[in-house]
Structure 1
Amino acid sequence: MATFTIRGKNIEVTPALRDYVEKKVGKVTKYFDNVGEITVLLTVSKDRHIVEVTVPVQGILLRGQEATMDMYTSIDLVIEKIERQIRKYKTKLEKRFREGSIRTEMMTPPTKPVEEDEAVVIKTKRFVVKPMDVQEAIMQMNLLNHDFFVYRDDKTEDVNVVYKRKDGKYGLIESGV
Structure 2
Amino acid sequence: MKITYTERKCNLRDNFKQRVEKKLSKFDKIFSDEAQAFVVATVDKNSQTVEITIRDKSMVYRAEKTMPEMNDAVDKCIDVLGRQLRKNKSKLEKRLRKGSLEELVAPAEEPEIEEEEYTIVRTKEIPVKPISVDEAILQMNMVGHKFYMFTNADTNEVNVVYLRDDGKYGLLVPTSGE
TM range (shorter): 0.5 to 0.7
Residues 10-19 or 68-77, more deviating: 10-19
Counterpart contact for 1:34–1:58, Cα < 8 Å: no
Q: CA deviation at 1:11?
A: 1.2
Distance of aligned partners of 1:123 and 1:11 in 2 relative to their CA distance in 1, 3 Å threshold: same
Match status 1:38 vs 2:85? no
Determine helix, strand or coil for the equivalent of 2:90: helix
Which residue does the alignment assign to 2:12?
13
| Normalised TM-score (structure 2) | 0.54
Q: Give structure 2 stretches of 5+ with no counterpart.
A: 97-131, 139-160, 162-168
Q: CA offsets per residue over residues 42-71 of structure 1, 9 Å max, x none?
A: 111111110000001242100000111111
| Normalised TM-score (structure 1) | 0.54
Count of paired positions = 112
CA distance in 2, matches of 1:129, 1:22: 28
Which residue does the alignment assign to 1:106?
none
Identical residues among aligned pairs (%): 26
Which residue does the alignment assign to 2:62?
63
Which residue does the alignment assign to 1:172?
none
Counterpart contact for 2:41–2:49, Cα < 8 Å: yes
Which residue does the alignment assign to 1:83?
82
Distance of aligned partners of 1:63 and 1:53 in 2 relative to their CA distance in 1, 3 Å threshold: same
CA distance in 2, matches of 1:93, 1:129: 20
Which residue does the alignment assign to 1:51?
50
Q: CA offsets per residue over residues 119-147 of structure 1, 9 Å max, x none?
A: 6x8754321599xxxxxxxxxxxxxxxxx
Q: Which amino acid aligns with 1:8?
A: E
CA distance in 2, matches of 1:12, 1:50: 13
Which residue does the alignment assign to 2:172?
125
Q: Which structure has greater strand proportion?
A: 1
Q: Give structure 1 stretches of 5+ with no counterpart.
A: 99-111, 131-177
The two structures, once aligned, show a CA RMSD in angstroms of: 3.0
CA distance in 2, matches of 1:31, 1:123: 29
CA distance in 1, matches of 2:176, 2:13: 39
Q: CA deviation at 1:32?
A: 2.6
Determine helix, strand or coil for the equivalent of 1:31: coil
Q: Which amino acid aligns with 1:126?
A: V
